[in-house]
Structure formats: structure tokens, C-alpha cells
Structure 1
């Protein structure tokens, strides 16, 4: 179960702004909940930010000077990119531009196995090929040793990047990075593709007109895929890019839209984030990033089609690899349920493809609502890890705490990567647990809703008004709404019960909602129950007819007290980790016989359930999550149920003879603990 937070708007301000703007009430309520509570901030949000002149980025003029010299001299220029979507799109933008200017230009992107950023071996290889100038895109700010090697080999170096610089900058002819402390540019959140776009504009005399027309679509893809905040200049870039994308002049991108069956009349940032971006990323994760660059730079439609088909195949392989790793993780958890008792999940496996462990970490976090670290153990005794987290558990701080065990690491609050020797894994895991134990409270995933919906909000006109908030993404998330107290009037399975459609009443409103990935036979509610939901609202258009689409993100039976749930869950996990609990806690979590009977009767009646559903159905003043889980543990001890830790599934097992629950290992241990603390 996830923790919900429902924001509130300033109703007086919303009423005032309704009379002073063309925005509808629902849109203004979302903006107010997000902190836009004065007219100037609202006007700023909807006014496309004009991009600063490219020369506002420090060293941009130097970069232009040296690149133009190389073009004029017909020196071999190499664009040194990165293997993710931002690096691939950055490389594409700059390569296409320089080629159109008649430059002698090539590109180089290291394979994922070589690691992020520049490396000495690559610099030496490029020197042998006769490269006279290297321009980095989406990397280079930390290439201190590589810059020295360039100088030693007589290669000129221009760095363009958007990552945080260290204490020392590379010794290059120009170091263009908005995060340099001495950079005067006002907007700091550009991705690598955004910096590359500005470099092209600077080379084009400072005007954005031509580069927007040619590269805004590619730049928008890099911007959304790199999950930089979609505000300010990034919002302008993505809006312009989405205007050009339906009629893109890039053959490979045009082919991709067709093969992914993306409706060109309705392309939005979500299509980039969930469809286009992953296909481009798959090349760097599971194949070669060069495939994607070739797809986006080829002018031959047949070649472009071939590359795109390869990318889509790689993306399918990527999904399959993720699914296989998830199955291995679930099997491991079922064998080692103690993994789930810790505040952070640390899971390692041999041969897990390092190109997808970051995505797997995100999926595990989403499933178990805890910070997650996934580690791939390689045949050479090395291990590479990827971490994903939530607010309250800083990944970079955590990795720094463990730095004496790591070969290298990097990251920020919510994500990071690292490498270490396999022999250090156990010590690393213990150190992670030690760090987590020192936190005041466990960090858990929180889903924030912008507003508690009223029945009259569920109208086509009201929801259509939300479209002005697009493009949505990092820093401007798609609105999430809460519906509390909806009565379910019908439940129907879709696509062989892979998905569910529910019909419900909500005050005076009657509506339908879709629950993707939910089997109607496994829901926590039945027809007639009252439920709470977090939803996205959209407008569907079919045969020219508009309809309201409600997509359920999370749901629960109405009235669940989430603070009690998470507090008692933390107590249960402390108990299972062997931490000392106060005597009054131990007394409260030992179930009475009548409580055991009540829980057992419910399980025997429904046959199959899980811990969260059990909590929703049976929790009360004396029955909390911890005590419920202990009841389940007792039944499992005595063979009355099967329990699957990875899914928390509970399956009833009929018995033919009387069972003495007092002999349960769990009860014996708890009573022993009580004796020790009293």
C-alpha cells in the first residue's frame, strides 16, 4: 500500500482568478495546490519562456570560435556522446548541424560496458583516426584525466555538458555547462540536448529560428527522456518540439512514429516518456547506442527503417530481460523473506544485464514502496549497482557513507550508480542497512494528489480545461486526483481479466474507471463496496465523439487509516529484524484467541487474499497491521495457509486434524520476548 497525500488549494484565490483568467476552476485548483497563488506566477507558467541567447552560457563564444576554425580547416571533428537517450539526441543534433555546415565530422559513443563519459582508451583511438577536435555532449565535465590526454596527443577539446561540475574543471578550450558556478546564464536545468541545441544556435549566429525548425523535435525527446524539470526554457523547447514532431523531417523518427503506432494528431510528452524514449534508450541499454544515432541521422528511408526495427527489437529484449530479473527477485524474496524487513531493499544477482538494472530498481521500488538497490554481479568478480529512492532516503548520501567499499559511485537524492568488487557485497549490504537504521523514520513512496475531486468535476468540459497544463513531466507532473467514497456498482474484466473496468457512483455523478494490470477476481473490493481512488483524468476521442476517461493509479477500501498502517508495519519489521520493542508494544501485538479465530474465518471464507486486503477488511481499534501479520505467521507455522512473501499472497489450506496454535514458533517467540521485557 502506498502513502497518499492530498493537497489543498486556496479557494479564495481560485475564485478570484476565475474572474480574471480564461482558465476553468479545476485547472486553477491544480495550479493553486502546486503553489501558483498569485496572478503573475500563473501568467509566467503559461507564457513561453524566451530562450536566453546562447552566449549567456559561459565559454560558448570560445566553443564557437574553435569549432568554426576546425570547420574552416576541414579538421576531423569528433562528437563524443553518451549512450542514454539524452546523449544520443545530443549527438544527433550536433552531428546533423555540423554536417549541414560542411564540417568533416564523425561521432563516437562508448558502449555501456565502457562506462559513462570519456575514457583514455577512446581518446587514444580517436587520435589514431586523425581527430583534431573533440566536442563532448552530455558528458565531459568530470573528464580531468581525459582532457590531459587530449592535450598530450595534440587534440583540441571543447566540453559541453549539463551535469554538476566537481572542484576541478577539465583543461579544455571551452567548458560549456550551465551548472558552472561562474556561468551567468539564468536557466540551469537544460539537459545535454538543450545545451547542444544552444551550441548550434550560437554557431548559427545566435538565432534559434533555424535550429528550432530542424532540431526542436529531437531536443524535446532528449529533454523529456532525461527527466529534467519541464519548466522555463525546457517547457518552451518541449512545446516547440511537440509542434514539429508529428511532421518530423527526420526519416528515422518518422518511421518510429509509424511503427510504434503513435497518433500524430495527439502526440504529447507522455508518448516521448513512455514510448519513444524507451526505444531510443534500449539501443544504449541492450545493444549499441550507435544504432539509434544511425537511425536518427540517416537520410536513406530504407536504412532508417532497418535501424528503427532493430531498436524496437532491442526494446522488446529489454522488456524481456527486465521481466526475467523481476521473476528472479521475486523467487529470491520468497526464499529469503527477511530481505523485505529492512528499510531499504538490496538485491543482487549474477548475470543481470547492467543496462536494465536501473529500470528494475524503479519497478521494485514501485512494488514494495521502499528505496531499492539492484546489483549485477559480473563474471570478472566486479559488481555494478543501480539505486532508486524516495524523499527521505538520500542515495548520494547513502553511497558516500559506504564509499570505502566502492570503486566509484555517483548520483543524487533519488538515484545513483556504483561499482564494487563482488567480495565486498556482504559488507556493503550491512553498511547500507546500518545507514538506513540511523534514519529517524523509514522512507516510503508517497503519491501526491493535486485535489480531492467533487462530483461536478467529472465532466468533459472541466477535464478538457486541464490540457493547457501540458506538456507534463518532471517538475510539472500530470495531475493526480483523489476520489474518496465512491460506491462500486459494477465490476467487469477486460482482455481475459488482465485489466478491470469499474462503474461507480460518486455523489450525484456516475462514471466508469479503468484499472490496468488488475485482475477483477483479485481486487480488495466487491460490488457494493465503497472505495477511495487516486486517478488521472483524460478525454478520449473515438469517431469524433469525446468521452471522459478515468485511469486508476491506486485504490483502497474507503476509510483506511494509513498512518496506523505504516506505523504498525514499521513495528512488525522491527520485530522481525530482532530489534528490541517496549513491553507495552509486545503485549499489543500478541493476538488473542478470538482474534485468531476471526482472521482465520475470514481467510477460510475468501480462500485467497493478501496482507493489505486483510488489513483493509479486518483492521480496527485492537487489530493493526503488525498483529494481522503475526496472525498470518502463526497460521503459516501450523500449515493452515500458504504465504508468498514476494506478493504477500495468502492461500487457505484445508486441514483434517486439530491444530494447536499455542505451539506456533511465532507465538512461542513472542511470549518469550514478553517474559524478557516485563
Structure 2
């Protein structure tokens, strides 16, 4: 019997969220139960504008990366992008290659083909050096390639690492590193994809093409308050607040030399919101001997954002959408800063929106493919990608694949992409031909894209067959391993295809609810393995125990890979089995159903879609909303499906209307656990049922209690 768990929350919690963020009580209660109560977290559920993405220059070394790339452009250098074979690596390589080529850089790319290993390799570096190459940019790899980077440096090649994998204890030296997981990266959100990191680099390069790159500007306001005059200044550099100063309780006759203003404002462009009032206050504070050279921004901003034309700075603060989510607002200029950055974003959109629209479709795909947590800016990436694709503007390459996967002319969800499009693109890398996916995304000729799309779909069919074969070959030994080790499942099967070992590990983890490792051999000398984890065990940390046996290894907390000499394989098995004895896994109770909200029967209607859509996209760290309703009457049923475990389609009476419910694999429950005429309590998800273009609400039962 399953446990229904609905976390207790208080009316005050719900009321506070409703008042602060202007949301209804049902939405507020779901936020409270999911412990999404901080403004910086709620923002990414209530807002989807690109304005809310983090500034790329928050990466401490982003400016260095931009300058090095611009130098390469100016000097006509040869540049190589080094990517990976999975969806994240394919999309990263595509968008960076596309952008660098568009600005005139002599650019080529390299991704692992056939049985080539993940990450940088010496052969490619030597070949690039022989061709007079001088700059390598890695995407979705590189952070674990210290020796290879050192070799490149010896050959006079500079390296920029853009990656998102867990860094090793010893970072690569003599290179520029853009990786949110590096401890001193400066970036506020660690869990973005490799493609998102590449997109951040592109954003920074685009900003560098504008007039204000590396320019310090100052926003200034002076006013009279109850406690005397007050001066606020905020300094921005690359659209980031880097310094601020406030002087308050000022009386008449203050000498400017007695303040920090002269040094603070030296050599900067100074902008005001209301120039007349600000200069009047400054004159009353410092007298006529001091003159400030300022420029009023309000009229310029009003041309782009008309509603602000007649607002005072106080009113601007009150209406600032960003300020609503900022729990640490400390300056009277916060609203000014926010509207200035929004204004700048609008200007940039006019120049770059069409290109970003194409790139962000791939960034959204990468977030789903690499199972990034659907929190923070990942929500904007995925929602934006879905919005563009569903508007009929899918980018070249994706359009052809979506057509063959029968995903056009319907509302595509994150789940659709994860279960259909992403596996098809991944199949090219798994079967050693990732260049096909890059080609289809770059190819301008429609007929050629159609030819490539057919090849990709063919590879995906082959991938499915290889998974079936591998599943059959590994099932017996997997069962034996699980029974023996209990806390980990380890399978070594030398005859399965290298491209599906990650999928087999995922299947084993889902089946046994323990971390799983699948190993195969690509030849007589080299074995490769893939690990998938759960219940709190971190992959890279676990694998680090066996580092001396590996040729290389790396990855994320929940997924990682490695290679090693076949001669080390037996020793690795022994050490993993020994290590399994001391693994501590978090408890995982499959019988627990966590309920987001209890709904009266009258709430079960199309209005629920508004709530369900608000919390989209669903996936990692953002599970599908689960509701509970009580005292619903079964008025009819139908057994459906031709599989061994048939499904149950129920009709319930809510008192106002009939409610359709699907209960998958539960046909045996009717007339045993409940019958027609019974009143039941129901735990369920809400989904759209689309038939002949008509969209209706359908519940999917998770559990029923009579």
C-alpha cells in the first residue's frame, strides 16, 4: 500500500507568497510545499523573459576568453573547436562554430568519431599545430584534459576550456577556464549544460561588439530626504554592478573633496534618471563651484520602454519587476539599475534576437539531454526553446527530424523532446557518427538536410536494436551482480556496442534503484565504462578511488564515463566490488507519493492547465505536479490495451461533470480493489488528451483508495 504524503504548510506562508508575488493561493501552496519560497527561485517559474538570464561576465575569466578570441579574429588565426559526441557536445559545437564563422574567424571543429575517446587527444592537437593552428576552444569537455592542454601549450597553442563537468582536484594550467562548477568561477548557478556555457561565451562576444564593452558607467541620483540630502552612485562594468557608494544625512556646505565621489566618478560616463532634480540637489549640497557632466537616461529608455516616461525614481523602484524578487535590495538605485539593464537587453535584442532564437533551441535541448535540474535559468532555456519550436519556427535540422518523428502540428512538451528527438540525435554519437547531427543543423540546402535526417532516423532504429541485444546479454549477470553487491550493479560484457553502455546503466539503475556500471571493450587493448547513479552517490567522486587504473574519466554527479587498459579490467572489478561494501545510499521509498495540493472536485477542469503549465517544464528536480481529490464516484470503466498488463480507463462523477481517468497497468484492480459505484480518493497527474485536434483534460491515476 502506498503512502500519501502531503506536507503541512501554514496559511501565513501561503498568504505571504500571494501578496508578495501576486499569485493565487493554489500556486502559492504548491510553491510552499516544494520549498520554493525565495524570490530568486520563484522568479524562474513566474518569468520567462531572456532578461532574467545571468550575465555571462559573471564568469571571472569570461573577459579573458572574449579578448583572446577577438585577438584571434584580428590576427587571422586558425581556431579549432573541440567538442563531444552527445547532444550537449553536438549542440555546443554547432552554435559556437556557427557564431565564430559568422564573424569571420577561420574556424574548424572536431568531435570524437567512431571509437575515438571522449575529450581532447594528442593526435588532433599535433595535426592542428602542423596546420599552424593557434587557439583551441573546448565545448562540453576539457576540464579533465590537463596533460593534453599542457601539450598544446608546449606547441604554442592557447586553450579556452568551456565545460560544465565536475572539475578534477588539479585543474588544467595555462589556459582560460569557463566552467560554472569550478569553485572560483564566479557564476551563480552551477548546473547549466555545456551548450549553455558555449552560449554564454557567444553572448559575451556579442556584447563585446557594442560600444560599452569594458567601459565603466555610473548611475547617479541625489535628492533631499527627511534626514538631509542623499547621494547614491552605482558603478557598472559590462552591465554588472561592481561598486556602489551612498552618502546620506548630508547638510549644506559639504566639500566634495571630503567625500569619495571624485575618485568614484573619475573617467566615467555619468547617467541620471531625472537630470534636473539631481543637479539641483547636487548644487544645494556642493554649491556652484562643482559641476557634474551628466546625461539623463529616462527619455532614451522611454523610447524603448514607453511606460517609464513619467515615472519618478521612487515609482520606478516600486514597479521594478526584478526588485520584486530581490530580497537583498539595498540601494535606491536598484530600480534604475534594473531598468537600465532591461533597456540594454532590448537594444541587444534588436540586433541579435534572430540568431539567439536559433541558438536557444539547441541550448534548451542540451539542458534536457544532459538531465540538468529544471530550476533557475534552465527553466528559461527550455521554455524558450519550446515556445519557438511550438510557434512553427523550429530551426533548420530540427524541423526535418521533428517531421520524421511525427512531432509537428501538436503541442510539443519537454517530455516529447526527451523521449523522441533527443534519443535520435544522441544515436548519431552513440554509433560513432555525431558529425551527421552537426551537419543537419548547419546545412543550408533543404534536400541535403532531408537526406541526413533519413540517415539519423536509420541510426536511431539501429540504436534501439543494439539496446535490445545488450539488455538481453547483460540481464542475467546484472541480476547476479545486484544480488551479490546489493548497493551497486556492475556488468562487464565485452560483446555489446560501446554506444549503448550508458543506456544499459540507466536501465539497470531504474530497475534495481542502485548505481550501475556497464563496461565493454572496444578492442583488445581498451575497455570503456559508463556509470549512472542515484540515491546520493556521486559518480565522479566514486570513480576517483580507481583513478590510477583509468586512462581517463570524468562526468557529472549522476553520470560519468571512463576508459582503461583491458589489462586493468580484472583489478577494477575487484576494487569496485570491495568499494561497494562501504557505499552509503540514501533511503528511497517507492511507496511514497508526494502530494502538491488537495483539490475539491470542482477544481478539476481546464483551469488546472494554467497551474500545470506554470510549473512546466518538468524533469530533473521538478517532478510533475501531483494532486489529490477525495470522494469521487466511479460511474463506469473500460479495459484497454493489448499488452499483458492491460490498462484501466475510469469515468468518475465529481458531482458537476464526468472526469476521465487513465490508470496504467491496473486493469486487475477493477472488481477487486474497487468497483463501479464506489466512492474513491484519488492521487493523480493532469495531462492533455488530444484527439482530432480537440484538447481535453485527462487525469492519470497514481493510486486509488476506496
Range class of TM-score, shorter chain: 0.7 to 0.9
Q: Is the 1:343–1:436 Cα contact (8 Å) retained in structure 2?
A: yes
Residue 181 to residue 431, structure 1, CA distance change in 2 (3 Å): closer
Q: Is the 2:485–2:580 Cα contact (8 Å) retained in structure 1?
A: no
The corresponding residue for 1:368 is: 512
Match of 1:284, SS? helix
The corresponding residue for 1:269 is: 414
* CA RMSD across the alignment: 3.6
2:393 equivalent among 248, 251, 265: 248
Does residue 461 of the first structure (1) align with residue 463 of the second (2)? Answer: no
Q: Is the 1:217–1:244 Cα contact (8 Å) retained in structure 2?
A: yes
Q: Please report how far the alpha carbon of residue 60 of structure 1 lies from its aligned counterpart in structure 2 after TM superposition.
A: 1.9
Residue 213 to residue 382, structure 1, CA distance change in 2 (3 Å): closer
Match of 2:109, SS? strand
The corresponding residue for 1:69 is: 71
2:650 equivalent among 481, 503, 510: 503
Deviates more, 1:129-138 or 1:262-271: 262-271
Q: Is the 1:497–1:520 Cα contact (8 Å) retained in structure 2?
A: no
Match of 1:114, SS? coil
Write the deviation string for residues 623-648 of structure 1: whole angstroms up to 9, x where unpaired. xxxxxxxxxxxxxxxxxxxxxxxxxx
Residue 179 to residue 499, structure 1, CA distance change in 2 (3 Å): same
Distance 1:32 1:165 in 2: 34
Distance 1:125 1:451 in 2: 56
Q: Is the 1:455–1:506 Cα contact (8 Å) retained in structure 2?
A: no
Match of 1:385, SS? strand
Q: Is the 2:478–2:491 Cα contact (8 Å) retained in structure 1?
A: no
Distance 1:340 1:548 in 2: 46
Residue 536 to residue 363, structure 1, CA distance change in 2 (3 Å): farther
The corresponding residue for 1:110 is: 112
Write the deviation string for residues 362-414 of structure 1: whole angstroms up to 9, x where unpaired. 22222233332222244415432222222244444443445565554434543
Residue 99 to residue 418, structure 1, CA distance change in 2 (3 Å): closer
Residue 487 to residue 122, structure 1, CA distance change in 2 (3 Å): farther
1:300 equivalent among 445, 448, 466: 445
Residue 317 to residue 76, structure 1, CA distance change in 2 (3 Å): same
Match of 1:376, SS? strand
The corresponding residue for 1:27 is: 27
Match of 1:142, SS? coil
Question: TM-score scaled by structure 1?
Answer: 0.72
Distance 2:61 2:38 in 1: 37
1:494 equivalent among 641, 648, 667: 641
The corresponding residue for 2:364 is: 220
Q: Is the 2:158–2:175 Cα contact (8 Å) retained in structure 1?
A: yes
Distance 2:482 2:615 in 1: 44
Residue 78 to residue 402, structure 1, CA distance change in 2 (3 Å): closer
Report 1:393-432 matches (<5 A). Answer: 393-403=537-547, 406-420=550-564, 428-429=572-573, 431-432=575-576
Residue 343 to residue 162, structure 1, CA distance change in 2 (3 Å): closer
Residue 425 to residue 157, structure 1, CA distance change in 2 (3 Å): closer
Distance 2:643 2:489 in 1: 33
Match of 1:145, SS? helix
Q: Please report how far the alpha carbon of residue 459 of structure 1 lies from its aligned counterpart in structure 2 after TM superposition.
A: 3.0
1:470 equivalent among 571, 593, 616: 616
Residue 427 to residue 271, structure 1, CA distance change in 2 (3 Å): same
Distance 1:215 1:411 in 2: 24
Q: Is the 1:26–1:462 Cα contact (8 Å) retained in structure 2?
A: no
The corresponding residue for 2:457 is: 312
Does residue 201 of the first structure (1) align with residue 350 of the second (2)? Answer: no
Question: TM-score scaled by structure 2?
Answer: 0.69
Gaps of 5+ in 1: 560-678
Q: Is the 2:144–2:554 Cα contact (8 Å) retained in structure 1?
A: no
Distance 1:301 1:244 in 2: 20
Q: Is the 2:537–2:584 Cα contact (8 Å) retained in structure 1?
A: no
Distance 1:106 1:479 in 2: 45
Report 1:598-609 matches (<5 A). Answer: none
Residue 272 to residue 156, structure 1, CA distance change in 2 (3 Å): same
Residue 27 to residue 386, structure 1, CA distance change in 2 (3 Å): same
Deviates more, 1:103-112 or 1:530-539: 530-539
Distance 1:549 1:214 in 2: 34
Distance 2:504 2:363 in 1: 26
Gaps of 5+ in 2: 209-344
The corresponding residue for 2:374 is: 230
Q: Is the 1:410–1:416 Cα contact (8 Å) retained in structure 2?
A: yes
The corresponding residue for 1:330 is: 475
Residue 205 to residue 363, structure 1, CA distance change in 2 (3 Å): same
Distance 1:340 1:4 in 2: 30
Q: Please report how far the alpha carbon of residue 116 of structure 1 lies from its aligned counterpart in structure 2 after TM superposition.
A: 1.8
Distance 2:399 2:205 in 1: 27
Distance 1:251 1:213 in 2: 12
Distance 1:525 1:317 in 2: 43
Does residue 537 of the first structure (1) align with residue 686 of the second (2)? Answer: yes
Distance 2:441 2:375 in 1: 26
The corresponding residue for 1:451 is: 596
Q: Please report how far the alpha carbon of residue 514 of structure 1 lies from its aligned counterpart in structure 2 after TM superposition.
A: 3.1
Does residue 528 of the first structure (1) align with residue 670 of the second (2)? Answer: no
Residue 264 to residue 65, structure 1, CA distance change in 2 (3 Å): farther
The corresponding residue for 1:654 is: none
Distance 2:402 2:584 in 1: 48
Residue 383 to residue 448, structure 1, CA distance change in 2 (3 Å): farther
1:514 equivalent among 654, 662, 677: 662
Match of 1:228, SS? coil
The corresponding residue for 2:532 is: 388
Q: Is the 2:515–2:533 Cα contact (8 Å) retained in structure 1?
A: yes
Q: Please report how far the alpha carbon of residue 201 of structure 1 lies from its aligned counterpart in structure 2 after TM superposition.
A: 1.8
Q: Please report how far the alpha carbon of residue 127 of structure 1 lies from its aligned counterpart in structure 2 after TM superposition.
A: 2.5
Q: Is the 1:280–1:311 Cα contact (8 Å) retained in structure 2?
A: yes
Distance 2:104 2:40 in 1: 46
Residue 379 to residue 72, structure 1, CA distance change in 2 (3 Å): closer
Higher fraction of helix = 1
Residue 453 to residue 362, structure 1, CA distance change in 2 (3 Å): farther
Q: Is the 2:165–2:555 Cα contact (8 Å) retained in structure 1?
A: no
Residue 398 to residue 525, structure 1, CA distance change in 2 (3 Å): farther
Match of 1:537, SS? strand
Distance 1:61 1:393 in 2: 36
Distance 2:584 2:145 in 1: 38
Distance 2:38 2:9 in 1: 10
Q: Is the 1:159–1:172 Cα contact (8 Å) retained in structure 2?
A: no
Residue 58 to residue 499, structure 1, CA distance change in 2 (3 Å): farther
Does residue 291 of the first structure (1) align with residue 436 of the second (2)? Answer: yes
Distance 1:528 1:204 in 2: 64
The corresponding residue for 1:343 is: 487
The corresponding residue for 2:279 is: none
Q: Is the 1:358–1:374 Cα contact (8 Å) retained in structure 2?
A: yes
Write the deviation string for residues 403-441 of structure 1: whole angstroms up to 9, x where unpaired. 565554434543333344556656544544444443567
The corresponding residue for 1:257 is: 402
